[in-house]
Amino acid sequence: MKKKINSNTLLLLITIALFCAMYIIGCIIYADKGFTHLQTFLNILINNSGLLCVACGMTCVMLTAGIDISVGSLIAMDCMFLAVGMENWHMSPVVLIPLVLIIGIVFGAVQGFFISYLEIQPFIVTMAGMFFARGMTAMIYSKQISVSSNELFKKLANIKIEFPFGSYVNRKGVEQIPYIRIHVIIALVVLVVVFLMLRYTKFGRSLYAVGGNEQSAIMMGLDVKKTKLKAYILSSFLCSIGGICYCMNTMSGSVQQALGLEMDAIASSVIGGTLLTGGVGNVIGSFFGVLINGTISTLVKTNGKLLSSWSSIAVAALLCFFIVLQSVFAKIKDSKK
Amino acid sequence: MENNVVLTMRGITMTFPGVKALDHVDFTLRKGEIHALMGENGAGKSTLIKCLTGINAFEAGEIHVDGIEGPVVNHSTMDAQKKGIATVYQEVNLCPNLSVAENLFIGREPRTRFGTIDWKTMIRKSQKIMDDLDMNIDVTQNLEEYSLALQQMIAIARAVDMESKVLILDEPTSSLDDNEVEKLFRLMNRLKSQGVGIVFVTHFLEQVYAVCDRITVLRNGQLVGEYLVEELPRVKLVAAMMGKDFDDLAAIKSGETPDFSHAEVLIDAKGLSHRGTIKPFDLEIHKGEVVGLTGLLGSGRSELARVIYGADKNQTGTLKVGGKEAKINAPIDAMNLGMGLLPDDRKAEGIIGDLSVRENIILALQARRGMFKLLPMSKQIEIADQYIDAVQIKTASRESLIKQLSGGNQQKVILARWLATNPDFLILDEPTRGIDVGTKTEIQKLVLKLAGEGKSIMFISSEIDEMLRTCSKLGVMRDGAKVGEITEDLTQEHVMKAIAGGGSNE
């Protein structure tokens, strides 16, 4: 039997192609500024490991036709909790990290309960969550704080996983070996696990069913409320893992941290082919969405002369492009019938 | 229980607020039979099904299912499904964004040793199910890639594969074309030969006679009787459903078409049009005349009405109402000139489900008075009662929510809404679609009565015989243009010819 490429796969391919094109153009234009080095790509991963975790969770929630805009604030709260915990309360990350994860689960459970069992709009509930988490961040500590005294956490964060290839010699004559950090590994593991979960578990498929047609999902005997509840717990849990990654990368806590990260996560999911109306999407797409996001800001930074606002404008343009593309595909599909 | 009986319902009773929806209804389903459940709108068919599948709770009576000890009470569709009672509804209850295989198996997917979904087995099994049903479908494709008919069949396949003993098909054919209906019937017959008992709810009489073995007729929440198909000719079935003799229908057919050529002209349209929907047309409607618009679906019948009413802005020509030139830019202008329009999509454009019957009736009247000049309550009640009586709306009270009424009665409420504004000219777009024979006749009678009172009416319908019964003049529509008028020789054959083209009255 011949396989037809359906429009969702095509959208994913377009996203991947766009990323490749963007990256290759970057390599050509900024070859002299070191864009071609493997490390440039790895830095995108290092700087966006937190976002990747969050985007995975966001995709799961968006599959059910929901949204979770509390994630940016939750990251800030996680980072602040970790930083203050280690610096002021002198607690070990061995205790703090599980605590952060538990906070994430509880946070998600409360939001999920309101959304699925009390049937309140996800936007409103998670907006309340957003304000709450941002406020709690300031309650924990109102100033910026750096993680500097905890040796274990510093050691973890500074581990370099080096690549046996792709090294180059810089202008000072020192050989640079490409590396990634441990939080990149964490984020990639999250990506793979969520991918497998969406494809091979009943919960994963239920997310698609709920987003496809909630009424039908009920009729087919799925527990829609429980599925939604789990989706929001998963989102906040993955967000907390993302918070840990984020903290490992920035080594600090601040009230202003991760402002607007939820929008980056939504943008990444949408660019990656997730529909806001639910039922369609995949974390592989979201991964490339995150990469595109990262590539744009790297390109702007590498240029050096452009204002960083240009990256927002570029993301905006891309979002428009993908949303229009999605609706054109939907139209074509309708007209075929 | 008899040997070959799979399902019995005895003395099922349930009341909606103020209305006895089911009154000691019995129903028996045997193995390997297709059993039609018939009745007019509001007779209690859907309610009976819903009692069985656990959506409605019944107050008295017992349900017994073959192989289960003691009386059965279901609390949800899932519950019923577990007991072997599967239901396929008019709307397909599947997920369009999932593959066909998943739609067949979701909720009971085959698992691998590790507890993950076993896609290979799932796809193999699904393909076998589809092949067994002679359906040429790639189960790995998304459901949305297939036509509504195929989706309907897949829904049935899912229900049947869950080893159901009882399969309920609630109006499954209303969105299918003849070919697809044929396929569905073949599937039903195959299931029947496998011993499944099928309950078939439908509006189409000919379908009943094509596949069913037995018919149970309900009327006003009561059991009329259970018949073998061979023993119940069509006319008798209709009579049983309506509770009156068939001659009643014929009675309203007026013998002579009255001559209106000397009557006062109320609506005089010359060259009206709306770009993209309807080409310029002329139309004259006299006082007290019923003018029909006929043509195929999408030929521009509704569009013509919309231009006169101002729902689509007229771009050319002139419109005279009662001899005076009228400018109609929006429906409110038309309303002020004494027009009313009953739209064809009553769910989307007509009823407001969460308002009461009274509120729905006075809506148009209130709109014409303006938002801030509220009708006094006593006046509202007076008007509502007057029209509930006049068009015979069957409702528990004037304060019942309109969504609790049956389709035919909802339609009557909308009709009452426009009558309350006392219009001189009323446009009725498919006023009888989707409602039962009895109510249809009532509405037709009402139209003639209104015309008798001097109101002019434009009647749009897909059913030619109904127009022949009510109209004295027919406008023929084709491809967005008015191509002719028939005033003499109003016969079915003649009208069909005119619609098809090559008519002589161009």
Sign of CA dihedral B176, B179, B181, B187: negative
Pair B448, B456: CB distance under 8 Å: no
Helices (H), chain A: 7-29, 38-47, 49-63, 71-87, 93-116, 122-140, 151-158, 182-200, 202-212, 214-219, 224-250, 261-271, 283-303, 309-336
Q: What is the pLDDT of residues A76-101, one digit of tens each?
A: 999 999 999 998 888 888 999 999 99
**Using a CB-CB distance cutoff of 8 angstroms, which residues of chain A are in contact with residue B106?**
205-206, 209, 220, 222
Domains of chain A: total: 1
ipTM higher than threshold 0.90: no
Q: What is the pTM of this model?
A: 0.70
Question: What integer pLDDT is reported at residue B347 of this predicted model?
Answer: 60
- On whether residue A50 sits in a domain, the answer given is yes
* B253 pLDDT more than 50: no
pLDDT 10s digits, A269-290: 999 989 888 888 999 999 999 9
Stretch 113-172 of chain A: residues touching chain B, C-beta under 8 Å: none
Q: How many other CB atoms are found less than 10 A from the CB of residue B3?
A: 7
Is A212 in Cβ contact with B97 (below 8 Å)? yes
Has residue A162 been placed in a domain? Answer: yes
Residues of chain B neighbouring A223 (CB-CB closer than 8 A): none
The pLDDT of residue A175 is above 50 = yes
The percent of residues above 70 in pLDDT, for chain B, comes to: 89
Start-to-end CA distance of chain A, whole Å, equals 22
Q: What is the mean pLDDT of residues A136-153?
A: 89
Give the closest residue to A159 by CA, choosing from A135, A141, A181. A181
CA–CA separation, A257 and A272 (whole Å): 25
Whether A335 has its CB under 8 Å from any CB of chain B: the answer is no
Question: Is B93–A213 a contact, with Cβ atoms under 8 angstroms apart?
Answer: yes
Residues in chain B closer than 8 A to A3 (CB atoms): 140
| Across A126-135, A243-252, A278-287, B124-133, least confident range | B124-133
Q: CA of B127 to nearest chain A CA: how many angstroms apart?
A: 12
- Amino acid, res. B216: T
Distance CA B36, CA B215 (A): 5
Please tell me the least confidently modeled range out of A120-134, B75-89, B137-151, B232-246: B232-246
> Please, which pLDDT band fits residue B172 given cuts at 50, 70 and 90?
confident
Contact A96, A155 (CB under 8 A): no
Non-local (6+) Cβ contacts of B93 within 8 A are: A213, A215, A216, A219, A220, B155
Judge whether residue B391 has pLDDT over 60.
yes
Q: Which of A1, A199, A205 sits opposite B106 (nearest CB)?
A: A205
Put simply, the answer to whether A217 touches B95 (Cβ < 8 Å) is: yes
For an interface test with A, the pick among B75, B82, B106 (most A C-beta atoms closer than 10 Å) comes out as: B106
CB distance A10 to B147 below 8 Å: no
Q: How far apart are CA A79 and CA B242, in angstroms?
A: 73
Domain B263-338+424-506 adopts which CATH fold?
Rossmann fold (3.40.50)
Between chains, do B78 and A221 touch, taking CB under 8 Å as contact?
yes
A336 domain residue, yes or no = no
Domain assignments of chain B as residue spans, ordered by start: 5-248, 263-338+424-506, 350-422
Nearest chain B Cα distance for residue A242, angstroms: 26
Q: Where is pLDDT greater, at A112 or B255? A: A112
Residue A206 in domain:
yes
Residues B408-443 have pLDDT tens digits of 788 788 888 888 888 888 888 888 776 777 777 888
d(Cα B95, Cα B98) in Å, to the nearest integer? 6
- Out of A6, A202, A212, the one facing B95 most closely (by C-beta) is A212
Report yes or no on A212 lying in a domain. Answer: yes
Written as one letter, the residue type at B129 is I
Nearest to B112 by CA among A80, A202, A115: A202
Q: Which residues of A touch B147 (CB under 8 A)?
A: 337
A150: in domain: yes
Cα B173 to Cα A205: distance, rounded to the nearest angstrom: 30
Per-residue pLDDT band at B251 (split at 50, 70, 90):
very low
User: Does position A3 have pLDDT exceeding 60, yes or no?
Assistant: no
Which domain CATH number covers A89?
1.10.3470
Mutate: best of B82, B97, B135, partner A, most A CBs <10 A = B97
In chain B, residues with a C-beta closer than 8 Å to the C-beta of A197 are: none
Task: Give every CB contact of residue A276 below 8 A, 6+ residues apart in sequence.
Answer: A62, A65, A67, A270
**Fold for the domain defined by B5-248:** Rossmann fold (3.40.50)
pLDDT of residue B503: 38
Residue A337 forms part of a structural domain: no
Mean pLDDT lowest for which of A41-50, A269-278, B340-349?
B340-349
User: A2 lies in a domain?
Assistant: no
* Averaged pLDDT of chain A: 89
Alpha helices in B74-231 (DSSP H): 77-82, 100-105, 119-132, 148-161, 178-193, 205-211
Q: Which residue segment(s) compose the domain that A171 sits in?
A: 7-330
Of A1, A200, A215, the CB nearest to B93: A215
**Long-range own/partner contacts, residues B491-494 (CB < 8 A, 24 or more apart):** B492/B464, B492/B465, B492/B468
Residues on chain A touching B119 (C-beta within 8 angstroms): 200
- What is the rounded end-to-end Cα distance, in angstroms, of chain B? 66
**Closest CA–CA distance from residue A221 to any residue of chain B (Å):** 6
**CB pair distance less than 8 Å for B77 and A219:** yes
DSSP H or E stretch at residue B6: strand B5-16
